[in-house]
Copies of this chain bind each other. A is one copy, B any other.
């Protein structure tokens, strides 16, 4: 967003991200960053208001790096293969997290900057769930329907309506009315995805789930089934009505 990033600032942030990957968010030291850049600590205050600003910037760019890796993987899947797009999104998210555990922890672990996400990080933060939503909407356009009928409570329904109204301005391609249940099922999947990755990286699966990739794919297929997202070509999934959707 800055007109032209000063080379010093980019050098600082590059070093900061490297050190973040080694020591983790809590141990990230402004003085250590300054040392590696080859400058005295106070010099950094020409470019940054403080340590928190470094973390905030790492959070913002972290969301974008994650979203970049995920959308790149998802974009490589044929558009009509909604189940593979869905599962690929899950798999790519986990693979990025496993490859960058400290960066993931900075994004989805305990908040470090004032226990409130800075406003400049909310935009990039939504891109993964938007990818999930796009797949779900595309599948719905292609004829997918959530198999189970469930009723949403009034407050949850209001949330779903509010989110639905927000979707177009977030860049979601919508050509069909969106069921509020669809919104809540996508949020369900989003929650499950990051819940499972956090459990894996934070050690809670240590004595139970060891086949992490396969397990996450199991969860992905379950949430896909709830959305009515079935395998391409019809009857591979467990779905009852064998109506295969048309595709380009």
Contacts and interface: CB of A to CB of B under 8 A. Distances in A.
Given A110-B109, A191-B192, A203 B156 contact: no
A40 interface: no
Interface stretch (A4-12, A69-77, A215-223): A215-223
B191 A122 contact: no
B108 A150 contact: no
A156 B222 contact: no
A139 to B, nearest CB: 18
Q: How large is the interface on A (under 10, 10 to 19, 20 to 34, 35 or more residues)?
A: 35 or more
A153 B184 contact: no
A158 B215 CA distance: 11
A108 B204 contact: yes
Interface stretch (A79-87, A92-100, A112-120): A112-120
Contact of A203 (B111, B159, B199): B111
Contacts of A62: none
When all copies of this chain in the complex are counted, the total is 2
Interface stretch (A14-22, A41-49, A205-213): A205-213
Contact of A105 (B110, B159, B192): B110
A148 B196 CA distance: 21
Contact of A149 (B105, B166, B206, B241): B241
A169 B159 CA distance: 43
A125 B196 contact: no
B202 A153 contact: no
Interface string A176-191: 0000000010011001
8 contacts: A108-B202, A111-B203, A122-B206, A148-B238, A149-B238, A153-B217, A194-B195, A195-B199
Interface of A: 24-26, 105, 108-112, 115-117, 122, 125-126, 148-153, 155-156, 158-159, 162-163, 166, 184, 187-188, 191-192, 194-196, 198-199, 202-204, 206-211, 214-215, 217-219, 221-222, 225-226, 238, 241
